Structure 1
Amino acid sequence: MAATAPTEPVGFANVSRALVSAAADLVTGVQRRVVGDDKVRTARDNAWAATLENRAQHEAQAELTREVAAMVARRRLVRSS
């Protein structure tokens, strides 16, 4: 006697997952056709872009901190004169 796994009823979640998966495949296929395989962004591309954006944001914040520190130093110099 072979045991069989109980069959799962097709529920809303399963249908939703299948629909989202099919839509994602369709969008990916259209994107590849329109822009070409070599120009499709990957997760690695997105991660690298996020890394570069974080670096630029940190550099801008550091520059602002330096500018504020210079303004405070000039103000102290003027007050002490």
Structure 2
Amino acid sequence: MSTAESNPSIGLTTISRTVASLAVGVVHTLERAVVGEGRMRTARGNAWEAVCADRARADRRAELDRVVAELTAARAASARRQRERQPVG
């Protein structure tokens, strides 16, 4: 039995995870200090922003659909008037 096998070693992935964890902690602390406790982004806030963005996109899409329908109707009416003006012959 070897004593080297029983001792856990610190590998490259352990160091990378440690550095990443420390970096996240620093960024979180910095955000709290700069932005303020009440204005920090949360999962709930992000979800609400996504819902609002989806609603705004749906509103713009509906408005564009309405404009296209109006233009299509106007073009069809114009074509109908032109056919009525042409002499049958």
Superposition TM-score, scaled by structure 2 size: 0.75
Letter in 2 for 1:36: G
- Does the alignment pair 1:67 with 2:62? no
- Counterparts of 1:66 and 1:43 in 2: how far apart (Å)? 35
State the shift of 1:12 in Å: 2.4
Superposed CA RMSD in Å reads 1.5
- Residue 76 of structure 1 aligns with which residue? 76
Answer with 1 or 2: which has the greater Rg: 2
Pairing of 1:27-38 with structure 2 (within 5 A): 27-38=27-38
Instruction: Give the structure 2 partner of residue 3 of structure 1.
Output: none
Q: Which runs of 5+ in 2 are unaligned?
A: 1-5, 82-89
Q: Write the distance in 1 (CA, Å) between the matches of 2:74 and 2:48.
A: 39
List, as ranges, runs of 4+ consecutive aligned residues in structure 1 with deviation greater than 4 Å.
Answer: none
Partners of 1:22 and 1:75 lie apart in 2 by: 64
Moved more, 12-21 or 30-39: 12-21
1:39 and 1:66, CA in 2 relative to 1: closer, same or farther beyond 3 A? same
Q: What is residue 26 of structure 1 aligned with on the other side?
A: 26
Provide the residue aligned with 2:10 in structure 1: 10
Aligned residues: 76
Q: What percentage of aligned pairs have identical amino acids? A: 37
Measure the CA separation in 2 of the matches of 1:7 and 1:54: 53
